[in-house]
Amino acid sequence: MNVGFLRRFLAPSSIGRKDLSEPFSDEKHTYATDGHILVRVPRIPEITADGPESLTSELGKDRLAFFHDKIAEADWLEIPVHPSSRIYCEDCDGSGFVKDCPECAGEGGVEWETAFHVYTNECKTCEGEGTVPGQASDQVCPACFGEGRSYPFDKKTTIAGVCFATRLLARISDLPGVKIFPVKGADEYTFPPSLFKFSGGDGFIMPRKG
Ligand SMILES: [Zn+2]
Ligand SMILES: [Zn+2]
């Protein structure tokens, strides 16, 4: 595994969160996460940044190590999402890149005021998304991860009773030998991350709340 491989699991640097847009390491592993998926691979020596304590200690050391030992091989499931079933990505117009909407400056809404009130309307230029299709010098489209093809935002895939956003599953479904262990919440209000593993690493993926 190398740094280029990890990049696809990071958020764009424009979101202003270094912990979500740069990989980091502890003594044994290197991690990348955008807050929806966390990938862990054996330590890559050139990644020396320390991650946030909450991720490297809690997620990395305790939870991943603990769970893996307890899961029977037969309980790791295939991910029924295949990249070939993706459709044209509307968020980036198939270009793979987006930029802040010039009309609303990335806010998704535009304000206008009368003498008495300030009104906010959904921005018609970007339909409330905050971004418009861009080009290669802009940021990678978060919907299709730069590939120009994705799944509709509301498409869901349920595995063993746990619901995931299909576009999120698609990010890990082509990892070599990938299997998922869906983790159900204790009740209808809790949505714990599920685990996945592949040849070369493992990680967490967040479910979709219904
Ligand atoms: Zn806009
Ligand atoms: Zn896109």
Provide the 10 A C-beta neighbour count for residue 100. Answer: 17
Q: 3-class SS at 78?
A: coil
| Tokens 């491989």 found at | 5
What is the mean predicted confidence (pLDDT) over 169-194? 90
Distance 88 CA to ligand 2 centre (A): 8
Q: Is the pTM of this model over 0.85?
A: no
Mean pLDDT of the chain: 85
The Cα 187–Cα 166 span in angstroms is 22
pLDDT above 60 (res 120): yes
Distance 76 CA to ligand 2 centre (A): 30
pLDDT above 70 (res 64): no
Distance 122 CA to ligand 1 centre (A): 8
7-54 confidence digits (pLDDT tens): 888 876 766 777 788 898 888 889 898 888 999 999 999 988 887 666
The Cα 182–Cα 204 span in angstroms is 10
Locate the domains of the chain by residue range: 3-83+156-205, 87-140
Angle, alpha carbons 88-92-95 (nearest 5°): 80
Distance 102 CA to ligand 2 centre (A): 18
DSSP H or E stretch at residue 45: none
Distance 98 CA to ligand 1 centre (A): 12
Q: E-assigned strands of 50-200?
A: 87-88, 97-100, 109-113, 118-122, 131-133, 139-140, 149-150, 156-159, 162-165, 179-181, 194-198
Distance 129 CA to ligand 2 centre (A): 12
Share above pLDDT 90 across residues of the chain, in percent, rounded to a whole number: 33
User: What are the CA-CA distances from residue 198 to residues 5, 98, 156, 174, 175 (Å)?
Assistant: 13, 30, 22, 10, 6
Confidence of residue 154 (pLDDT cuts 50, 70, 90): confident
CATH of domain 87-140: 2.10.230
pLDDT above 70 (res 57): no
Distance 174 CA to ligand 2 centre (A): 18
pLDDT above 90 (res 115): no
189-210 confidence digits (pLDDT tens): 888 889 999 999 999 999 998 7
Distance 33 CA to ligand 2 centre (A): 19
pLDDT of residue 63: 56
Ligand number nearest CA of 128 is 1
pLDDT above 80 (res 56): no
The Cα 1–Cα 27 span in angstroms is 16
